[in-house]
C-alpha cells in the first residue's frame, strides 16, 4: 500500500509526531511505500535543525532526517506555516531578507499543492494531530 502522511503537531508538544514517525518506520519495514510526509501547522517545527533536546531525550528532528536519508523520503514543510514559525531554507531566507536558514537535513519547503498531490497519489492519507 502507498501512504502519504500529514503531521500537524510539533515534536515535543504532542504525541502526534512520535506516532507518525513510528507508523512511518513500521510501514516501511513492512514493505509499504511512503509517497510523501507533509508537515503542516505546528508540525513544521519537526523540520528545524535548531532543536536541541536534553541529552537523555529522543531527538525527534534527527530521527526524521535519518529515516528520510535511509529510505529516500520526500518530507515537505508547508511554506506559509514555516514562515510564520521562523523556519526557512536558504531560498526563503534570501527572499525574505534573513541572514540564515534553519531547515533540517532531509526536509524541503513547498506549498499546499504538495499536500494535494500526496492525497491524490497515495492509497491512504493519514493525518497525525489536530
Cβ atoms of 129 and 7 within 8 Å: the answer is yes
> Annotated catalytic residue: which of 7, 76, 77, 78?
78
Cα 77 from Cα 4, distance rounded (Å): 14
**Please, is 31 exposed, middle or buried when counting C-beta atoms within 10 Å of its C-beta (0-12, 13-18, 19+)?**
exposed
For residue 71, indicate whether it is catalytic: no
User: Which sign, positive or negative, has the C-alpha torsion 126, 11, 45, 75?
Assistant: negative
User: What's CA 48's distance to the chain center, in Å?
Assistant: 9
As annotated, the active-site residues are: 78
Amino acid at each position: 500500500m502507498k501512504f502519504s502522511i500529514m503531521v500537524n503537531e510539533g515534536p515535543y508538544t504532542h504525541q502526534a509526531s512520535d506516532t507518525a514517525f513510528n507508523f512511518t518506520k513500521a510501514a516501511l519495514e513492512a514493505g509499504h511505500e511512503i509517497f510523501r510526509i507533509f508537515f503542516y501547522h505546528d508540525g513544521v517545527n519537526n523540520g528545524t535543525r535548531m532543536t536541541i533536546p536534553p541529552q537523555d531525550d529522543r531527538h525527534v528532528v534527527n530521527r526524521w532526517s535519518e529515516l528520510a536519508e535511509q529510505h529516500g523520503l520526500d518530507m515537505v514543510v508547508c511554506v506559509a506555516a514555516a514562515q510564520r514559525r521562523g523556519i526557512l531554507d536558504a531560498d526563503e531566507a534570501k527572499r525574505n531578507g534573513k541572514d540564515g536558514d534553519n531547515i533540517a537535513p532531509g526536509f524541503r519547503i513547498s506549498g499546499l499543492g504538495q499536500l494535494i498531490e500526496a492525497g491524490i497519489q497515495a492509497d491512504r492519507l493519514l493525518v497525525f494531530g489536530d
